Amino acid sequence: MTTFQRARSEEQREARRAAILETAAEMLETMPVAALTLNELARRVGLAKSNVLRYFESREAVLLELLDRAEGRWLAALPPRLDAAIPPDASAADRGDRLAAALAESLAGERVLCDLLSAQAAVLERNISTEVALDYKRAAARHRATLTGLLRRHLPELGESAGSLCRHIILVTGAVATHADPAPSVLAAYEADPAVGAMRIDFTDFLTTTIATLTAGTLARAARR
């Protein structure tokens, strides 16, 4: 734990913010979003809770910034992965299926991002000011534009429907992540009864099927237009 003196310059303030974000990111590598508390974050950073609140107005504001950064990193690494997975001369249906598989596999390696997405609307956006909400939503809009551009690149048949598909992919990713990571009691129930265990879902398989279905439906609707 590092103990800081009070920041007296903008550079020092930015260093404090960076330290808080870095520590929170490290915590999320070993615990779910729900377990990260402001008190523990402050303790690990070496600041009083009130001092952490000088740099971020709430725990949720910290986590939204981490969500923004995690989504940006994921999107930055996505283009070569999609290029390798999707042959441009394949049919639209085949490209759609390959796109779905590549997206799901890439997201399977982004546990923290998926955890943050699953908590976004119900938790992270509930204890923030309008200013923080605007900053996050503007960043999210830029990310959606990036993903929409990638969808159009590999499936130009989507046309204007690419933006709608993009939003559906992000929303369903958070939902699938929640259900694919059940609580210990639910895991025990799955193991105790094979009939109940059949309800357990695999994140990658389920997300692949869901995105593929959404993509096929969006392509069909776009073709009718």
Domain that holds residue 142: 58-224
Indicate if 32 and 108 belong to the same structural domain. no
Q: How far apart are the C-alpha atoms of 162 and 150, rounded to whole Å?
A: 9
Pair 14, 8: CB distance under 8 Å: no
Extract the tokens encoding 31: 């615990």
Return the pLDDT at 2: 47
Enumerate residues 6+ apart whose C-beta is below 8 A from 74: 106, 107, 110, 113
Indicate if 16 and 83 belong to the same structural domain. no
Indicate if 148 and 106 belong to the same structural domain. yes
Of 56, 75, 97, the one marking the end of a domain is 56
Number of domains present in the structure of the chain: 2
Indicate if 170 and 104 belong to the same structural domain. yes
Indicate if 67 and 48 belong to the same structural domain. no
**pLDDT string in tens for the chain (225-residue length):** 444 455 567 888 899 999 999 999 999 999 999 999 999 999 999 999 999 999 999 999 999 999 999 999 999 999 999 999 999 999 999 999 999 999 999 999 999 999 999 999 999 999 999 999 999 999 999 999 999 999 999 999 999 999 999 999 999 999 999 999 999 999 999 999 999 999 999 999 999 999 999 999 999 999 987
Enumerate residues 6+ apart whose C-beta is below 8 A from 107: 74, 113, 114, 173, 203, 207
